[in-house]
Amino acid sequence: MDVITWYLEQTSPSDLLPAKPPAIELDIVRAEVPSPELNRFLYTAVGGDWQWTERLPWTWRQWAEWLSQGVETWVAYHRGTPAGYVELVPQGEGTVEVASFGLLPWAIGRGAGGRLLEFCTARAWDIAERHPGLEPARRVWLHTCSLDGPAALANYQARGFRIYDSRVGVPGDRDEGSTPGPWPGAGPRTHP
């Protein structure tokens, strides 16, 4: 099975479109202290059902190096429980990547994704306000693929992201019948 990867961008803060209010209350907080443990937990808990495997073999030191590049981690909580997260990466020359975005399985289908994406895209646009010396954002971009959640591409487009490129490829050595889950070998989980 071929995998389609879409590359999307916004080139002005005015491109950002609002989301409907979510069905659950969300508090979205920046994790200001870089924590490899937190980011690995979020990466596996969110990405386990969607073939996010690239960072699974990373050591603690590799996670720490990733976060030391100025990565901002924003976590959405519902009643103190993580619901989803975003990683924003300033890349220089006014470009910010939404490197990771997603929800934990229990939060899918409750409108949290639209709200989290709206909030964090706004934070990508104003990232220079939190980092003295960083050039103001002129472009925010991300990518998603046909292995990601079925609502991912539609959510990005509904928030004003436009496709500027797409590529078709064959997945690597993935077992299409299973996913790594939050723990290697955990397999797929059911969503409420």
| Mean pLDDT confidence for 19-42 | 95
Q: Is residue 188 part of a domain?
A: no
Query: At 101, is the pLDDT very low, low, confident or very high (cuts 50, 70, 90)?
Result: very high
Q: Are 107 and 115 in contact (CB under 8 A)?
A: no
pLDDT of 171: 61
| Mean pLDDT confidence for 28-39 | 96
Least confident of 9-13, 14-18, 167-171: 167-171
Q: Is residue 145 part of a domain?
A: yes
19 has a pLDDT exceeding 50: yes
55 has a pLDDT exceeding 60: yes
Q: What total of structural domains would you count in the chain?
A: 1
Q: Is residue 100 part of a domain?
A: yes
CA-CA distance, 3 to 168, in Å (whole number)? 6
Q: What is the pLDDT of residues 134-159, one digit of tens each?
A: 999 999 999 999 888 889 999 999 99
Least confident of 73-82, 100-109, 121-130, 177-186: 177-186
Query: At 51, is the pLDDT very low, low, confident or very high (cuts 50, 70, 90)?
Result: confident
pLDDT of 177: 44
CA-CA distance, 67 to 100, in Å (whole number)? 12
Chain mean pLDDT for the chain: 89
| Mean pLDDT confidence for 104-133 | 95
What tokens appear for 141 in the block? Answer: 């971009």
Q: Is residue 148 part of a domain?
A: yes
Relative to beta strand 72-78, strand 27-31 is antiparallel
Q: Is residue 108 part of a domain?
A: yes
pLDDT of 175: 45
Whichever domain contains 136, its CATH number is 3.40.630.30
CA-CA distance, 146 to 103, in Å (whole number)? 17
Relative to beta strand 95-103, strand 162-169 is unpaired
Q: What is the pLDDT of residues 153-185, one digit of tens each?
A: 999 999 999 999 999 987 654 444 445 555 554
Q: Is residue 174 part of a domain?
A: no
Q: Is residue 178 part of a domain?
A: no
pLDDT of 182: 54
Q: Which domain holds residue 163?
A: 3-169
Q: Is residue 185 part of a domain?
A: no
pLDDT of 172: 55
